[in-house]
Structure 1
Amino acid sequence: MTPIQDLLHRIRWDPEFSHGEFVIGYYDRIEHEIILVPFLEITLPKEAPGVFELIDREGQTHTIPLHRVRSVYKNGELIWHRE
């Protein structure tokens, strides 16, 4: 299986592969469910390679460890999954 950080970097930097709409599904420990977020709404900070960040509706930044990513979709089709 492709490591999630490699897939996220490919989405970000590979111009041929990155055409399409990507959605990341991560496990939320408070809600106890998978949360789906568009790839365009996350950032991959250079200073912290093992996480991604997103800003919620209230404007708060959340840092999510990459080990909590459970799925990645491209144009609605599951392309990567981990239990």
Structure 2
Amino acid sequence: MTHVHRKHVVMPDDTLTFLETYQRTHNLPSFSAVIEAAALALKEQELRAQYAQYAADYAQNPDEQREAEAWLNLPMGDEPQ
């Protein structure tokens, strides 16, 4: 069962305009769907950063390095800062 929660958020006009435009151009059914998409993108960004950190800290073994690169889908020397 999915639980739904309501939150009140305050944001600058330009951020709101961007999100509303994003909703229209990507045919999302609701503003909540835009916020959910943004949250999922942030989660993915965080996961990518964590895998990059793993690779930098622990993947000294070439096999482990290749595995980390495969998870990130980019060469470890090219991770975003």
TM-score by length of 1: 0.21
Normalized per residue, which structure has more strand?
1
Structure number with higher relative contact order (C-alpha < 8 Å, ≥ 6 residues apart): 1
Question: Which has the greater radius of gyration?
Answer: 2
Normalized per residue, which structure has more helix?
2
TM-score by length of 2: 0.21
